[in-house]
Chains A and B, each alone.
Chain A
Amino acid sequence: MTALAAELTPRAQQRLRYRRRFTRRPTAVIGLAGVAFFVLVAILGPLISPADPNATNYDTIFVSPFSAGHLLGTDDLGRDVLSRLIVGTRASMEAGVLATLIAALVGVFLGLLSGYYRGRLDTVMMRATDVVLSFPFAILAVGLASILGPSLSNAILALAISLVPTFIRITRAEVLGLREQEYVQAALVSGAPARVIMFGHILRNCLTPLVVQVSVAIPGSIIGAATLSFLGLGEQPPTASWGTMLSESQNYLSQAAWFAVFPGLAIALATLSFTMLGDGLRDVLDPRGDR
């Protein structure tokens, strides 16, 4: 391995440097482990859930946690809380990742066009982002839910729409700067088509701030999706999701306090994992960034 190190390509050396910078931060590694755990649970979901998450049993209502057969107790309908948490993981992860990915794809594309062509297109785009940003997230989600009806996919759509403007602006700002770089000018002079310059030359060099933004947006969307489900605008009962479990728990605070604790803990741990991983990534990619 050491003998090979001298022969490593610059790119491989860079990768090695990144890896060292990342593993030096314990929080980043813990974050990565946490994210891996939640993603795994989301994928395996129904396979590893100890009981049917929707099976009601009126003989076992509000069984306390750590009792036989129900590690985290049961809810108001006798459903196993652990199973509902496990199955609900998928909805939360899906919402966080999908909303962010949709927003990133749309935002990067529009931002590239806006920054590359500038002019009237750019003006229109900036006003459009202003308008979208002028509706606070909850208001936007509420408005969409009332037009399209409350559901998880509409909640994801609302999240994605509220995230798009930031992606547009970050990409545009990067493109405006990169467009004047010599290698882009050289490509222009040599007659490369616009799409090659945009997606080949420019996009590759503005990935760092975008990766950082993605890592900020995912935990934000997980909380956002849970919030919307909590408010009744996301995943609809009886489907298990962390947000709906919390909103159900509100009615039984005096009988079953733990019922309100576990779903919240799941949301907090998931977002914390993504945030720690994101902070680590930011340090690796942009060591001069604020700390």
Chain B
Amino acid sequence: MRWYVLRKVGQALLTLFIASVVVFFGVRALPGDAATAMSSEGASPEVLAQIRQQYGLDEPLPVQYADWIGHVLTGNLGTSPQTGLAVSAVLADRIPVTLELTAVAVLIALVISIPIGILAALKRNTALDYLSTTGSMLGLSVPHFWFGILFILLFAVRLHWLPASGFVPFATDSVSNLQHIIMPAVVLAIGLAAVLIRQMRSAMLQSLGEDYIRTARAKGLAQSAVIGKHALRNSLTAVVTVVGLQVGALISGVVVTEQIFVVPGIGKLTLDSVFNRDYPTLQAVVLVTASVYIVVNLLTDLVYSALNPRVRIQGAVT
């Protein structure tokens, strides 16, 4: 186990390092040199020279990379040439918004998918099962941004129940916060819920077919105890790891939903920084999301292997 963990952590660190190199060279691959890219348009040669010196752009590339990564590791992500704000401060502002949105979305997805998945497995091949299968297929085929637009159309434009867009911090007004967050969170949850229903159903079906379930039934345990205590517990671990594997899809979903509902989180910041040519911010956002993704995948791997030791042996062979 220890060797497996060390190997996985090592791989993740290596991936993280290469990803940071890719991000670093990505900005240097921009049209024009990085100094022009990082300054506002039409900056004078003096300003450009100053930026080059400030960011060490006249140094050799490995030195530049070492400098940059050193700054990143100490929390200095540069300043946005457009707003003049420190990128780390902007991130600190935006990250909680995205975290709240994602947390609510994951919660909604779990609350929807676990009971539906269980029911679909228990009532296999009934109308209910087909309905849930069709539902999850629709959830995967219909683009989420269209759901978002339809939701706005129905709940904001027609019914006036919810605000169409924007965001209010929880500390300022908790009710308004929830009113603003619920639509984007549901839209973000749909794709995840669709995947989870399928997973929950097949995990449940698999554990219901295992010997220990037959043993539990033979012992005379009540149906509720067999399902609640034995089958469910073993299926849930599979579903939890699937949530981990869906983080990439969630991050992509965040970019889209935040754009539709004008939620000032990381996703909106990413797009804004592209259209404003705010490269220090873009660089930071891409680095942060890639790191989050790599770390979550690592944790998912480790949790999964802790729950399912067979994976470790397979992993050691390849």
- Using a CB–CB cutoff of 8 Å, the interface residues on chain A facing chain B are 127, 130-131, 133-139, 142-143, 145-147, 149, 176, 219, 223, 226-227, 230-233, 246, 249-250, 253-254, 257, 260-261, 263-264, 267-268, 271-272, 275, 290
A87 to B23 Cα, complex, angstroms: 37
B36 → chain A closest CB, angstroms = 14
Task: Classify the interface of chain A: helix, strand, loop or mixed.
Answer: helix
B251:A139 contact, CB within 8 angstroms: yes
State whether the Cβ of B289 lies closer than 8 Å to any Cβ in chain A.
Answer: yes
Residues in A whose Cβ lies below 8 Å from that of B293: 134-136
Q: How many A-B residue pairs have CB under 8 A?
A: 134
State whether the Cβ of B74 lies closer than 8 Å to any Cβ in chain A.
Answer: no
Number of residues on chain B facing chain A (CB within 8 A): 53
A176 to B289 Cα, complex, angstroms: 33
Contacts of B255-279 to chain A: CB distance below 8 A = 255-256, 259-260, 267, 270-271, 274-275, 277, 279
Residues in B whose Cβ lies below 8 Å from that of A257: 153, 157
For B30, the closest partner residue in chain A by CB is A147
A142 to B253 Cα, complex, angstroms: 13
For B17, the closest partner residue in chain A by CB is A131
Residues in B whose Cβ lies below 8 Å from that of A253: 149, 152-153, 157, 164
B157:A134 contact, CB within 8 angstroms: no
- Using a CB–CB cutoff of 8 Å, the interface residues on chain B facing chain A are 11, 14-16, 18-19, 22-23, 26, 29-31, 137-138, 140-143, 145-146, 149-150, 152-153, 157, 164, 202, 247-249, 251-253, 255-256, 259-260, 267, 270-271, 274-275, 277, 279, 282, 285-286, 289-290, 293-294, 297, 318
A98 → chain B closest CB, angstroms = 19
A249 to B145 Cα, complex, angstroms: 12
Residues in A whose Cβ lies below 8 Å from that of B294: 134
B153:A138 contact, CB within 8 angstroms: no
For A145, the closest partner residue in chain B by CB is B274
For A270, the closest partner residue in chain B by CB is B141
A223 to B260 Cα, complex, angstroms: 16
